Chain A
Amino acid sequence: MNNYHQNEDAGKFSWEEKEIDSIRLTMDDRSEILRYVGYSGQPLTDEFESQLQICMEKVNAVAQPRLIATLFQCEPVVVGDVIVEYKWPESLNFLTGEDIHTHLKECREVLLFGATIGASIDRAIRVEEMREPVHALLMDACGSTLIESVCDHFEAILRRRYRDGEEHWHLTTRFSPGYGDLPLEIQNHYADVIEARRIGLTVTPEHIMIPRKSVTAIIGIADHEIGEKHRSCDSCNMNAHCRFRKHGVLCGE
């Protein structure tokens, strides 16, 4: 892997911007949106379908997906001629707790990213709260779905790139501040480390990300398969419209 910039132990990770910036909700995202609003198979009226359609379009119109990432190199610790562990660069020491260490245990590289679909959607939802509360609820669900979609697409791009790279490396799943014992309190420093301001992503003193529809997540990269084997596609409820398979990869690859 050398198609990224290495500067000492940290560098900007990059990609074709329009691959991320152009992501929008599609009909494939409908079921996920419905899940966010507690749908469990009730009959849907035409009226509701058209409201959902309007809300998806409104969100697509104002969304501005942006993503920024920094890639860190870990230092192999060699005993004899065996690599016994990978040592994190000092800049990653703010990632505290056992869980993230376990998650990234065998990784040679660690990628920190932040993604957002922008501030305009927050404003649009606010306006809708006053005009049409149902639309506000649906647009909120649309926003949550879209930011997940952005993260999935990015992860898929990443997986494809590493898999197809010379060394066929493997990725862990995404791990976000607030998961397990990785405290939410690191969010502010995290944002500084990845220079989240460049995509308009900010964190309040209470560690909440604004714009609201934003995600930070960590992915580890190893030279061998790690963790559990990927789930069976057959049992996955995203099977019919998997974002990963669109990029020719599997989510656990």
Chain B
Amino acid sequence: MSNQKFTILDGGMGTMLQAAGLAPGEHPEVFGYEHPDVVRDVHKKYIDAGSRVIYANTFGGNPRKLEGCPIDTEIAVSTAVSTAREAAKQGEEMYHEPVAVALDVGPIGELLEPLGTVSFEDAYESYKETMIAGAGAGADLVVIETFTDLLDAKAAALAALENTDLPVWVTMTFEQNGRTFTGTSIAAFALTMEALGVKAVGINCSLGPNEILPLARELSEWTNLPIVIKPNAGLPDPETGEYRLGAEDFAEQMMQYKGLPLIAMGGCCGTNPDYIRALYAQMQQNDIARIPLTGSGAYQFDGTGLFTEPRTGARRGICSSTNVAEYGGVRVIGERLNPTGKKKFQQALLDHDMDYICKIALEEEEAGADILDVNVGVPGADEKTLMVEVVKALQGVISVPLQIDSAEADVVEAALRVYAGRAIVNSVNADDERLDAFLPVLKKYGAATVGLCLDEDGIPETAEGRIEKAKYITKRVTEYGIPKSDILIDCLTLTVSAQQNQAIETLKALRAVHEMGLHACLGVSNISFGLPARSHITENFLIQAMQCGLDFPIINPNVLALMDAVASFKVLSMEDVNCESYIARFANRNEKTIVQQGTGTAESQASNAEMNIEEAVLKGLKNETRALAEKLLETHTEEEVINKELIPALDHVGELYEKQVIFLPQLISSANAATAAFDMIKERIHAKDDGENVSSGTIVICTVKGDIHDIGKNIVKVILENYGYRMIDLGRDVPPEKVVEAAVTHKAGLVGLSALMTTTLPAMEETIEALHREVPEVKIMVGGAVLTPEFAQKMGADYYCVDARASVAVAKEVFGGA
């Protein structure tokens, strides 16, 4: 006798409403408001067929979707929930069994930043309205469904969890490759949602039962939560456009889910009451009991009663929306996103230069870091605002998960909130004050945490002292309901040149922590501070630490020797099965000619002795241009190299471009090559006089509000940078007030605005007006495919640039020189 039991959900609503007269493109919620009887009838048919949870007609019931409709969110949602409730009540009277009404929440239908233009906060506010209306109208649970973007789903889940007391289910829509349209993986979805505290996760839409089955199996590996499945009636038939599966076939395929930890199943697009009836019949034939979700009154669900025991043993780890760093084995945490002792990084933070920060992050990721630590603490900036800005920027380009590094609970909370995934927090320690502030945040977002073996009195000098702190942290964290597996104890590295006896204590403590079944993390590099040839000590300590159980080393992944040590360790520890990763890593490596990335070498200088800097720029050769500039600096000043070599070279390239001797990619390659030399020279000047006065002038640049085309803007930026201008790039979709603010803050002499759509030209005009009004002294240049010189003038721009090259002439005119 099977002890399995599911509840039965309903089937498709859209298909049913279309049959009843809903026109293509018409809002089902508006239709439902005008024809509640039709919707009630659909619900009733599903209940008659066997559904015991019905989804209210609220899928698009949010303020963004209903913009311009005759009804608002409150009316749309409350009408739909009441309609469903009426049907449920009739059903309960007829079948003497509870029927639950779900508030059905679909995505707002616009992509979130950075792919789209909607901010996480705006998405949240939109969902919040729906949730409040739905809970107010008496829904029994919230089902967030058909999402394809993890961050979007997180905004909806938080809106539900924070504004209602209802249980929350989240089901996302995957492609056959196990990813959503935006790349979210099944594991990342499961980890992130379980961390937030939803009651069930699942998969709906897009595919049929057969196609979803392997995905559901994968999902069940990554979560201990019960699973909800609502497939389509198969895939569309290429001949007829209809869904391929009939009701009987659908129901039969659904029986393959027997044995999986399901709480509920139903149908999505293409299914109708016949499918649900067939499903119920199949369940009866297969000894699967149908259970209601509501007892008396309010719906209660704690997962028990559905399975003989609550499930355990799901795979665990931390994740971004696309990548999981699974627990078990060594996972390298990159340490470079940290301003401590790094002037350029500090300046980048103060300038909000996200490109600089993202570039470092990309270097770490490419070098093989599994996780990136993010620290933005810099005097003179608001850490919370900056942390949110950096996390948002990073998750637009970085695939690996993040570790949020801050001593302030509110900074950590703000970061975890907008993070599309499940992060590590760095850090708590045995100080009760810190624990009291951090634990609620860790719990709420389900984050993992680093626990430093110290407290308000400092770092214990002995291993025993540190182990005690580790035990105390573990006690406090687990008492708060956070699993032990989410604690990473940091036994602390002290500098061996100052306190030589401490390395042994750290290793001893590490071994004990490992034996306690805890993860261990450790900032390794500090060990060699103050010593010559640091890398030898660091590498040796890293290896010993891993041997003692360190599984989350925090290191600079761009130091090849350290990553090689990790790769070697993974072979010896059996993590790298069949040495596959090791062999792949070293397959094409010629051990003798490894050149550290980012530094010009004497060799390349010598080999290019024949080439001059202009040729190197023209050919777009980065390393050669830099090396040649370095050589010139032996006999010339920085200013001479810039003004007499690099700028003339760029001018020449520009002329060739104008004459169409070369074309755009070559122009950019050349600009890029020159950048390499400029960066090197800038650093030298910085190092020399601590000054910052290398720039020929400051230019603020952006794509205007509503527009997201930025390739042209980026080209202008690269080119101008090479003429020595300090470029403040505000990105795309930038509101006028932000442009004004940046022009004032950075004392810009010139602002460049880009727009590529006729529909965003009004935003450009508005920005120009605001600038003229607020910062009358600043000059404005505009560019973009839809612009003409006449139109630019009409809008009040000072200059029109036909292409990137033209912006150079404008800058020269505004700032003088060259």
- In the complex, chain B residues 536-585 whose Cβ is within 8 Å of any chain A Cβ: none
B359: chain A residues within 8 A (beta carbon): 130-131
List residues of chain A with CB under 8 Å of any chain B CB: 3-5, 7, 10-17, 37-40, 42, 45, 47-48, 51, 64, 70, 90-91, 94, 118-120, 122-123, 125-127, 129-134, 136-138, 140, 178, 184-185, 189-190, 192-195, 197-200, 202-208, 210-212
Across the interface, do A210 and B116 meet the contact criterion of CB distance under 8 Å? yes
Across the interface, do A14 and B757 meet the contact criterion of CB distance under 8 Å? no
A185: chain B residues within 8 A (beta carbon): 759
Report the separation of the CA atoms of residues A184 and B707 in the bound assembly, to the nearest whole angstrom.
Answer: 14
Closest B residue to A126 by beta carbon equals B397
Main secondary structure of the interface of B (DSSP, over half): loop
Closest chain-B Cβ to A186's Cβ sits at a distance in Å of 10
Q: Which A-B residue pairs are the 8 nearest by beta carbons?
A: A200-B181, A193-B25, A206-B706, A14-B241, A5-B241, A12-B241, A192-B25, A16-B238
Across the interface, do A210 and B235 meet the contact criterion of CB distance under 8 Å? no
B718 contacts A by Cβ under 8 Å: yes
The residue from A13, A48, A193, A200 contacting B241, defined by CB atoms under 8 A apart: A13
Please, what's the 1-or-0 string for B637-679, where 1 marks a CB less than 8 Å from any CB in chain A? 0000000000000000000000011111110110110000000
Closest chain-A Cβ to B380's Cβ sits at a distance in Å of 25
B23 contacts A by Cβ under 8 Å: yes
Residue pairs across A and B with Cβ atoms less than 8 A apart, 26 shown, are: A7-B19, A10-B24, A11-B241, A12-B241, A13-B241, A14-B236, A14-B241, A17-B235, A42-B660, A42-B662, A47-B620, A64-B181, A120-B182, A129-B714, A131-B359, A133-B672, A133-B714, A134-B665, A138-B665, A200-B181, A200-B182, A204-B117, A204-B118, A206-B760, A212-B708, A212-B709
Report the separation of the CA atoms of residues A184 and B756 in the bound assembly, to the nearest whole angstrom.
Answer: 13
Across the interface, do B663 and A40 meet the contact criterion of CB distance under 8 Å? yes
Across the interface, do A38 and B707 meet the contact criterion of CB distance under 8 Å? no
Closest chain-A Cβ to B303's Cβ sits at a distance in Å of 31
Across the interface, do A39 and B117 meet the contact criterion of CB distance under 8 Å? no
Stretch at the interface among B107-115, B471-479, B499-507, B789-797: B107-115
A131: chain B residues within 8 A (beta carbon): 359, 362
- In the complex, chain B residues 131-178 whose Cβ is within 8 Å of any chain A Cβ: 146, 148, 175
Across the interface, do B758 and A184 meet the contact criterion of CB distance under 8 Å? yes
Across the interface, do A122 and B115 meet the contact criterion of CB distance under 8 Å? yes
Q: A138-B665, A200-B181 are in contact. Are A130 and B355 (CB under 8 A)?
A: yes
A5: chain B residues within 8 A (beta carbon): 240-242
B237 contacts A by Cβ under 8 Å: yes
Across the interface, do A38 and B759 meet the contact criterion of CB distance under 8 Å? no
B90: chain A residues within 8 A (beta carbon): none
The residue from B23, B237, B397, B672 contacting A134, defined by CB atoms under 8 A apart: B672
Report the separation of the CA atoms of residues A212 and B67 in the bound assembly, to the nearest whole angstrom.
Answer: 23
A190: chain B residues within 8 A (beta carbon): 25
The residue from A17, A120, A130 contacting B183, defined by CB atoms under 8 A apart: A120
Across the interface, do B711 and A140 meet the contact criterion of CB distance under 8 Å? yes
Across the interface, do B665 and A118 meet the contact criterion of CB distance under 8 Å? no
B67: chain A residues within 8 A (beta carbon): 205
Across the interface, do A3 and B240 meet the contact criterion of CB distance under 8 Å? yes
Across the interface, do A206 and B23 meet the contact criterion of CB distance under 8 Å? no
A206: chain B residues within 8 A (beta carbon): 117, 706-707, 757, 759-760
Across the interface, do B110 and A119 meet the contact criterion of CB distance under 8 Å? no
Closest chain-A Cβ to B664's Cβ sits at a distance in Å of 5
- In the complex, chain B residues 198-254 whose Cβ is within 8 Å of any chain A Cβ: 206, 235-242
Report the separation of the CA atoms of residues A212 and B241 in the bound assembly, to the nearest whole angstrom.
Answer: 27
B715 contacts A by Cβ under 8 Å: yes
- Among B239, B661, B665, the one with the most A-chain Cβ atoms within 10 Å of its Cβ is B665
Report the separation of the CA atoms of residues A51 and B235 in the bound assembly, to the nearest whole angstrom.
Answer: 39
Report the separation of the CA atoms of residues A84 and B410 in the bound assembly, to the nearest whole angstrom.
Answer: 70
B758: chain A residues within 8 A (beta carbon): 178, 184
- Among B24, B362, B666, B668, the one with the most A-chain Cβ atoms within 10 Å of its Cβ is B24
B757: chain A residues within 8 A (beta carbon): 184, 206-208
B669: chain A residues within 8 A (beta carbon): 134
Interface size class of B (residues with CB under 8 A): 35 or more
B310 contacts A by Cβ under 8 Å: no
A130: chain B residues within 8 A (beta carbon): 355, 358-359, 362, 397
Closest chain-B Cβ to A109's Cβ sits at a distance in Å of 13
Report the separation of the CA atoms of residues A5 and B15 in the bound assembly, to the nearest whole angstrom.
Answer: 14
B110: chain A residues within 8 A (beta carbon): 202-205, 210
B396 contacts A by Cβ under 8 Å: yes
Across the interface, do B24 and A48 meet the contact criterion of CB distance under 8 Å? no
B355: chain A residues within 8 A (beta carbon): 130
Across the interface, do B708 and A208 meet the contact criterion of CB distance under 8 Å? yes
Closest B residue to A36 by beta carbon equals B664
B18: chain A residues within 8 A (beta carbon): 7
Report the separation of the CA atoms of residues A208 and B242 in the bound assembly, to the nearest whole angstrom.
Answer: 30
- Among A37, A40, A64, A119, the one with the most B-chain Cβ atoms within 10 Å of its Cβ is A119
- In the complex, chain B residues 323-360 whose Cβ is within 8 Å of any chain A Cβ: 355, 358-359
Across the interface, do A204 and B708 meet the contact criterion of CB distance under 8 Å? yes
Q: A70-B24, A130-B359 are in contact. Are A204 and B706 (CB under 8 A)?
A: yes
11 extra interface residue pairs, beta carbon distance < 8 Å, beyond A12-B242, A132-B672, A212-B708 = A4-B241, A64-B181, A91-B23, A120-B182, A133-B668, A133-B715, A189-B25, A204-B118, A206-B117, A206-B759, A207-B759
B663: chain A residues within 8 A (beta carbon): 37-40, 42
Report the separation of the CA atoms of residues A136 and B362 in the bound assembly, to the nearest whole angstrom.
Answer: 15
Report the separation of the CA atoms of residues A211 and B181 in the bound assembly, to the nearest whole angstrom.
Answer: 10
B671: chain A residues within 8 A (beta carbon): 133
Closest B residue to A140 by beta carbon equals B711
Please, what's the 1-or-0 string for B94-124, where 1 marks a CB less than 8 Å from any CB in chain A? 0000000000000101110011111000000
A133: chain B residues within 8 A (beta carbon): 668, 671-672, 714-715, 718
Closest A residue to B396 by beta carbon equals A126
- In the complex, chain B residues 12-56 whose Cβ is within 8 Å of any chain A Cβ: 18-19, 23-25, 27
A39: chain B residues within 8 A (beta carbon): 663
Report the separation of the CA atoms of residues A205 and B763 in the bound assembly, to the nearest whole angstrom.
Answer: 13
B114: chain A residues within 8 A (beta carbon): 126
Across the interface, do A119 and B182 meet the contact criterion of CB distance under 8 Å? yes
Closest chain-B Cβ to A128's Cβ sits at a distance in Å of 10
Closest chain-A Cβ to B177's Cβ sits at a distance in Å of 9
Report the separation of the CA atoms of residues A122 and B666 in the bound assembly, to the nearest whole angstrom.
Answer: 22
A204: chain B residues within 8 A (beta carbon): 110, 116-118, 706, 708
Across the interface, do A94 and B239 meet the contact criterion of CB distance under 8 Å? no
Closest chain-A Cβ to B515's Cβ sits at a distance in Å of 41
Closest chain-B Cβ to A37's Cβ sits at a distance in Å of 5
- Among B19, B620, B671, the one with the most A-chain Cβ atoms within 10 Å of its Cβ is B620
Across the interface, do A38 and B664 meet the contact criterion of CB distance under 8 Å? yes
A189: chain B residues within 8 A (beta carbon): 25
Closest A residue to B116 by beta carbon equals A210
- In the complex, chain B residues 678-709 whose Cβ is within 8 Å of any chain A Cβ: 706-709
Closest chain-B Cβ to A69's Cβ sits at a distance in Å of 9
Closest A residue to B181 by beta carbon equals A200
Closest chain-B Cβ to A100's Cβ sits at a distance in Å of 16
Across the interface, do A202 and B672 meet the contact criterion of CB distance under 8 Å? no
Across the interface, do A197 and B25 meet the contact criterion of CB distance under 8 Å? no
Closest chain-B Cβ to A145's Cβ sits at a distance in Å of 14
The residue from A7, A119, A132 contacting B111, defined by CB atoms under 8 A apart: A119
Q: A123-B115, A133-B668 are in contact. Are A202 and B238 (CB under 8 A)?
A: no
B241: chain A residues within 8 A (beta carbon): 4-5, 11-14
Report the separation of the CA atoms of residues A79 and B319 in the bound assembly, to the nearest whole angstrom.
Answer: 67
B148: chain A residues within 8 A (beta carbon): 200
Across the interface, do B25 and A208 meet the contact criterion of CB distance under 8 Å? no
- Among A5, A90, A184, A206, the one with the most B-chain Cβ atoms within 10 Å of its Cβ is A206
Closest chain-B Cβ to A21's Cβ sits at a distance in Å of 10
Across the interface, do B714 and A14 meet the contact criterion of CB distance under 8 Å? no
Report the separation of the CA atoms of residues A84 and B668 in the bound assembly, to the nearest whole angstrom.
Answer: 57
Closest chain-B Cβ to A173's Cβ sits at a distance in Å of 22
A120: chain B residues within 8 A (beta carbon): 182-183
Q: A127-B362, A184-B759 are in contact. Are A137 and B664 (CB under 8 A)?
A: yes
Across the interface, do B181 and A137 meet the contact criterion of CB distance under 8 Å? no
Report the separation of the CA atoms of residues A130 and B669 in the bound assembly, to the nearest whole angstrom.
Answer: 13
